[in-house]
């Protein structure tokens, strides 16, 4: 159990340390570590955690870390108390780098925020944030298998089992893109549509 605790803590600490762009950008990093590298959860369980993280109050990346920490320990058979410890470990680890960086560089920021090197760095990071958010969407839609004769891509049927799921996805995308509908309204409308369709 101590080994798993350390693995969870160190994994989410690295995610928190190298994440730029907030929780949406963090999802692809979490998915890569939790599903692809460590195999703690499968795609379906991770997608459920992302859905819950989006609908509960708070930043999605931190919510996701909390739920993943609980689920990894609980599904490993350590029980409810261990799941709570896992939640605490993942949550603390993912926010600790940001806190430390903010604490140590805040005073320097006021001196260097107009420096050309800082401005250039921020200009480079902005497109990478958009790419990370797009990657988070893709890992929830497609499964990329790089083994064998070449890359194989398939739709994750756990997340998109039929045409109704695709209809919900397209409608939500169009509403958010063209009508600039707020996320809370979009979640409530999607939930209502899901209840009607399923």
Taking only the tens place, the pLDDT of each residue in 5-41 is 999 999 999 998 887 766 777 888 898 899 989 999 9
| pLDDT tens digit sequence for 139-174 | 788 877 766 666 677 888 877 888 888 899 899 888
Look at residues 132, 151, 170 and tell me which one is the last residue of a structural domain: 151
Same domain, 189 and 140: no
The answer to the question of residue 48 being in a domain is: yes
pLDDT at residue 130 in the model? 80
**Residue 114 to residues 65, 128, 157: CA-CA distances in angstroms?**
34, 21, 48
Q: Per-residue pLDDT averaged across 51-67, rounded?
A: 88
Which among 12, 101, 102 is positioned nearest to 61, based on CA atoms?
Answer: 12
- Its pTM stands at 0.61
Residue 156 lies in a domain: no
Q: In this predicted structure, what is the pLDDT of residue 146? A: 67
Same domain for 170 and 78, yes or no, is: no
pLDDT of residue 61: 87
Closest CA to 34 of 3, 73, 2: 73
Kindly state the percentage of the chain with pLDDT values over 90. Answer: 19
* 57/88: higher pLDDT: 88
For the residues 39-65, what does the mean pLDDT come to? 88
Q: Are residues 82 and 105 in the same domain?
A: yes
User: Is the residue at 157 inside a domain?
Assistant: no
Tally of structural domains, the chain? 2
Both 147 and 167 in one domain: the answer is no
Range of the domain at 188: 162-198
């Amino acid at each position: 159990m101590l080994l798993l605790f350390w693995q969870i803590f160190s994994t989410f600490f690295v995610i928190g340390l190298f994440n730029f762009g907030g929780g949406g950008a963090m999802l692809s990093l979490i998915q890569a570590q939790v599903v692809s590298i460590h195999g703690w959860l499968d795609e379906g369980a991770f997608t459920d955690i992302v859905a819950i993280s989006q609908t509960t109050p708070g930043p999605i990346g931190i919510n996701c870390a909390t739920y993943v920490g609980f689920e990894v320990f609980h599904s490993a058979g350590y029980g409810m108390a261990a799941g709570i410890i896992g939640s605490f470990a993942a949550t603390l680890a993912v926010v600790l780098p940001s806190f430390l960086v903010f604490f140590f560089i805040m005073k320097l920021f006021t001196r260097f925020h107009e420096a050309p090197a800082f401005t250039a760095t921020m200009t480079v990071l902005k497109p990478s944030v958009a790419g990370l958010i797009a990657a988070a969407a893709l890992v929830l839609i497609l499964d990329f298998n790089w083994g064998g004769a070449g890359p194989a891509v398939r739709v994750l049927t756990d997340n998109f089992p039929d045409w109704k799921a695709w209809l919900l996805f397209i409608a939500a995308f169009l509403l958010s893109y063209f009508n600039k509908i707020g996320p809370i309204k979009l979640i409530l409308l999607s939930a209502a549509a899901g209840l009607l369709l399923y």
